[in-house]
Chain A
Amino acid sequence: MGNCFKSSNNDDISLLRGNDSHDSALEPTPFVEPPPPYRTQPELQNRMPIYHPSPGVSRTATQLTEDEQIKIAQRLGLINHLPTGKYDGTNRKAKECVICMNEFCFGEQLRFLPCLHTYHKECIDDWLMRSFTCPSCMEPVDAALLTTYQTS
């Protein structure tokens, strides 16, 4: 998989072993011991996704206000309208994801923005949840998409 920030655990492991990014996709997921029952709650809390309703604000789902929940749900919907695909080596223009600075590997999930900039799906989705702009050209990802979605 991509060496993006959400998979930082995988990243650490592959770095310790000195592998490069091409191998990490082939590696089995690191074995995680099932937590003993009394640890279930804290473990779950640690794994709860963190949302960023506005730049610089980090909250878990339970801490979000109703407005923030709506905003995040809308954003998730918009992001899901953007095309995705697997890297097959034919994308001649982009070889590297500028967010994680790793080269695209065969089979990795990519997301294509309307401005034709391409990123790892995981990397760009993380950013789009914070700011609905393309990191490379700073254009709003798709104003038209936004209006149709909100009025329909």
Chain B
Amino acid sequence: MAGLPRRIIKETQRLMAEPVAGITAIPDEQNARYFHVVVAGPSQSPYEGGLFKLELFLPEEYPMSAPKVRFMTKIYHPNIDKLGRICLDILKDKWSPALQIRTVLLSIQALLSAPNPDDPLDNSVAEHWKTNEKSAIDQARQWTQLHARANNVNSH
């Protein structure tokens, strides 16, 4: 805990006191900069009914640099690659120290509702999305059933 900036403590307390709907973020017992995150698939999206595990790490430079976030649960999404890396501008060049863990997780939740195949991270998924959206959404729904079922989350 030594050297943990006050802002991180405040953000953690606020996340616990007023959690975001559909998202849990729990700091690791060993490392207060590492959060175990679970995002519920938004309703009306192919991820509905799924619980997606993510890891979020606040680098030494935070909030001058963005948190590092990665999906641990497999997900079929044009902006998320096989390793779980996320293509989201606020995690890269559009980061601002006025953003917080809360806003980052909300943006990721929004990305699940609105995949953007024009700015792909996984080209084959994005191609699938652009050429046959219905089939891609079906596949995303299948992957949700296969990998993100509620009872799978704790078994990883």
Contacts and interface: CB of A to CB of B under 8 A. Distances in A.
Interface string B75-118: 00000000000000000011011100000000000000000000
Interface string B3-38: 111110111000000000000000000000000000
A51 B11 CA distance: 27
* Chain A binding surface SS class: loop
Which among A58, A100, A138 has the highest number of chain B CB atoms within 10 Å? A100
B11 A101 contact: yes
Contacts, number: 48
Given A133-B96, A135-B96, A135-B97, A12 B2 contact: yes
B10 A98 contact: no
Contacts of A133: 96
Nearest to B10: A101
Contact-residue bracket for chain A: 20 to 34
A122 to B, nearest CB: 12
Given A56-B65, A126-B64, A21 B6 contact: yes
A149 interface: no
B63 interface: yes
Interface of B: 2-7, 9-11, 61, 63-65, 93-94, 96-98
Interface of A: 3, 5, 8, 11-12, 15, 21, 55-56, 58, 98-102, 123, 126-127, 130-131, 133, 135-136, 138
